[in-house]
Amino acid sequence: MTEQFDIAVLGTGLFGAALTYHLTREPSRRVLALDTIPEAGRPNSTAASAGILSVQGWDPWDLAIVRESREEYRELAEEEGVETVRCNGALRVARTEEGARWLDRVERVLARESTEARRVGSAESMELLPFADLEDVRAGLYTPDDATMDATAMQAAYLRAAVRAGAVVRPSAGPVFPERLPGGRWQFGGDSSVVADALVVAAGAGSKAVLAALGHPLPLAPFRAQAVRLRPRPLLPSFPTLHDLDLNLYVRPASLGRLIAGDGTGTREEDPSRWDPNPDRTFVEGMLTAVSDLFGGLPPAPMEAAWAGLCVASPDRFPLVGRVPGGEGLYVATGFNGFGTMRAAGLARRLADAIRTGRWEPLRPADPSRFPSSVEQFDPRPEFPLEGPDEPPGPSPDGTAPPRASIPLASTGRDRVENRLLSGIEEVDGLRWSPLSEWFDPFLRLFAKDALRTGGNVEVAEEGGLVRGLFLFGSSEGVGSGFTRTRRVAERYLDRMERGGLYLEEPWRSGGEPVEVFAANLRDWESTGRIRNPVRIARPDDLPGIRALMRGEMGPGMDPWLATLPRPEETAFLCEIDGRVVGVSWLSRVGAYGRGHSFLVHPRFRGLGIGSDLLNARMLWLRRTGGRQVVSEIYDGNVASRTAAERAGMALVGRMFHFRPTPGA
């Protein structure tokens, strides 16, 4: 039996995944997506991406593509429940006259296209990035719309939505080289039992070889790009992505307080079957030096990972997305010149639309037929600024103007998430979790069990057996907690919050009061001082004394939880003076992860350093017993807790939000 498809997409990196998804918006279309299983240690470009979405302002067309992409990623992330697109803004800085002129040009393009951009000098640059040394900056441009995302998570989200909409996504043991059958159809891997009417080559660095084998060579040059992930000390909260035009490097915030830095790197063509996936020593050393020079206000940051990936250059640095000249039913999408993450969604949507309608104008600047038919060798030029005319091109011609409103996603089946209440603690161990929280994922199982132990309710939102949301409510404290990355799950939790309100990690609605998240990585932590007060780990017979202190300061709300103790995952550090417990700090422990909570010092004993000692002891113990990371929430702007956390070597790394019901609602 021959399997027949209307269209096949070769390559399911971010572009191929987005295209597959958009092609399935036409319900009757049979779509096949093929990819080779990656060779160990050789990630595709999507897996290597630093995930920066930048309103670069090359020209109005490119700007529109980036904006469309960012909007689509934001909606898809909220729909599919993957890591949110973070709008952290970006700061581009130049120290030379030439760099400053480039920033002038970008600013004019952005202004014409109504994209917010603000010129900043060195003082304001340093306000935006307080730990960076930007004193010698001649000019800066701040663009609040720049964002960051996880390209691999987004690729997976597209593929999941595409499969749900009917696409067939198939891995192959090795690279696929399609062949043309008499009559014009395509067959795959020499297997005439799988055929398609049309073919889109979206095979990243593999595209050049596939097209050449089909007799349709295009001017493409795969090149290496590299990046490093560093662990700053202390861990950092989100900051605007920094593009240093003179040093030709970027630094962006990454999850768990890390940062990612990289540059354009490779300037020579690579063979995709033989390239070196290991980062160059000179690159890594250069990055470590540059980041420690730039972030002079911080101690040098240890490197956690470094990697290389293959990007694809085109002679004029614009992508090749559209019909392959002379190739009936053959399309291509590659040549993103190191900027394919920020363009994939917009270009994939436009390509799917053009294939369906035959209207190619919205892809004109990417038309592969703009190059002469004979393919000349050329060198990749991967710097950030695009050399262009001094005057930017005028407003975008009709048909390519950016759509200002948000673009609705194709319907992806709204009712697929099922909510159910758990009836017993044993059910928690049977749950299969998807990532729901940047800092609290290791503790979600424990939170769910604690809620059930203390008479609260636990509701899970599941999709295909995978937990996409966790809602803890009805506890004696009257405040619920929700963990989800999916907007409609969060909305459900908000609609059902109780009188004490609800904690959520994302600002899904306006009006949430921030709760600060502090954290430290214990590999880099050093004790900040001698412990002066009598602090020790609590024994089971200390529980009545601890309960008396907690009750006195916090009311009876914690009684049900205290009644479940002792348990191995909970450790209390206490300070005892004259036989009385005057301070306590708790630590929940799950493997290498600790969460500090329920920290208090009796008012009469404040100002003696007991708080710092309790937190310091907690950190010391955690590190000595193999702990890697500790996190704590600080509620209601509690200055004493914040100061003690900072003294103990923790740093502000993010915010959660406390939503309260509207009075009278």
Ligand X SMILES: Cc1cc2nc3c(=O)[nH]c(=O)nc-3n(C[C@H](O)[C@H](O)[C@H](O)COP(=O)(O)OP(=O)(O)OC[C@H]3O[C@@H](n4cnc5c(N)ncnc54)[C@H](O)[C@@H]3O)c2cc1C
| Interatomic CA distance for residues 610 and 619, integer angstroms | 14
Subset of 135-174 contacting ligand X (CB under 6 A)? 151
Measured at the CA of 46, the angle between CA 45 and CA 52, to 5 degrees, comes to 110
Residue 56 found at the interface with ligand X (CB under 6 A): no
| Out of 52, 117, 422, 656, the residue judged to bind ligand X by CB under 6 A | 52
Nearer to ligand X, 86 or 595 (CB): 86
Between the CA of residue 113 and those of 100, 147, 189, 363, 612, what are the distances in Å?
20, 18, 46, 18, 52
At residue 317, the 3 state secondary structure works out as coil
Minimum distance of ligand X from residue 593's CB (angstroms): 29
Query: In sequence order, what E strands does 127-190 have?
Result: 139-143, 147-148, 168-172, 179-180, 186-188
Number of residues that make up the chain:
665
Minimum distance of ligand X from residue 399's CB (angstroms): 24
Minimum distance of ligand X from residue 171's CB (angstroms): 9
| Interatomic CA distance for residues 200 and 173, integer angstroms | 20
Query: In sequence order, what E strands does 123-270 have?
Result: 139-143, 147-148, 168-172, 179-180, 186-188, 191-201, 221-230, 241-244, 249-253, 259-263
| Out of 176, 199, 351, 355, the residue judged to bind ligand X by CB under 6 A | 176
Nearer to ligand X, 69 or 484 (CB): 69
| Out of 340, 368, 442, 609, the residue judged to bind ligand X by CB under 6 A | 340
- Residue 152 tokens read as 């691999």
Residue 300 found at the interface with ligand X (CB under 6 A): no
Nearer to ligand X, 206 or 611 (CB): 206
| Out of 8, 16, 117, 158, the residue judged to bind ligand X by CB under 6 A | 16
Residue 456 found at the interface with ligand X (CB under 6 A): no
Residue labelled with tokens 């050329």: 378
Residues near 200 by beta carbon (within 8 Å), at least 6 away in sequence: 7, 8, 9, 10, 16, 19, 331, 332, 333, 351, 355
Minimum distance of ligand X from residue 519's CB (angstroms): 25
Region binding ligand X by CB under 6 A among candidate stretches 25-33, 41-49, 81-89, 650-658: 41-49
Residue 44 found at the interface with ligand X (CB under 6 A): yes
Minimum distance of ligand X from residue 551's CB (angstroms): 52
Residue 35 found at the interface with ligand X (CB under 6 A): yes
Residues near 350 by beta carbon (within 8 Å), at least 6 away in sequence: 65, 321, 362, 363
Beta bridge partners of 537: 573
At residue 146, the 3 state secondary structure works out as coil
Number of residues near ligand X (by CB under 6 A): 42
Residue 14 found at the interface with ligand X (CB under 6 A): yes
| Out of 203, 386, 519, 648, the residue judged to bind ligand X by CB under 6 A | 203
Residue 48 found at the interface with ligand X (CB under 6 A): yes
Residue 226 found at the interface with ligand X (CB under 6 A): yes
Minimum distance of ligand X from residue 66's CB (angstroms): 8
Question: Among 434, 391, 312, 383, which Cα is nearest to 11's?
Answer: 312
Identity at 620, one-letter amino acid code: L
Minimum distance of ligand X from residue 400's CB (angstroms): 20
Residue 51 found at the interface with ligand X (CB under 6 A): yes
| Out of 115, 143, 314, 341, the residue judged to bind ligand X by CB under 6 A | 341
| Out of 165, 311, 451, 582, the residue judged to bind ligand X by CB under 6 A | 311
Region binding ligand X by CB under 6 A among candidate stretches 38-46, 444-452, 472-480, 648-656: 38-46
Residue 262 found at the interface with ligand X (CB under 6 A): yes
Nearer to ligand X, 221 or 549 (CB): 221
| Out of 3, 26, 104, 175, the residue judged to bind ligand X by CB under 6 A | 175
Residue 15 found at the interface with ligand X (CB under 6 A): yes
Binding letters toward ligand X, positions 430-449, x by CB under 6 A: --------------------
Residue 517 found at the interface with ligand X (CB under 6 A): no
Minimum distance of ligand X from residue 324's CB (angstroms): 15
Residue 178 found at the interface with ligand X (CB under 6 A): no
Radius of gyration of the chain (CA): 27
Is 146:88 a contact under the CB 8 Å cutoff? yes
| Interatomic CA distance for residues 580 and 152, integer angstroms | 53
| Interatomic CA distance for residues 25 and 591, integer angstroms | 44
Subset of 377-416 contacting ligand X (CB under 6 A)? none
DSSP line for 423-474: -SHHHHHT-EEPP--TTTGGGHHHHHHHHHHTT-EEEEEEETTEEEEEEEE-
List, edge to edge, every strand of the sheet that includes 139-143: 118-120, 139-143, 90-94, 241-244, 249-253, 259-263, 221-230, 303-313
Nearer to ligand X, 321 or 467 (CB): 321
Nearer to ligand X, 45 or 396 (CB): 45
**Residues of the shown chain interacting with ligand X in the complex, contacts defined by CB under 6 A:** 10-16, 34-36, 38, 44-46, 48-52, 151, 175-176, 202-206, 210, 225-227, 262, 309, 311, 334, 336, 338-342, 344
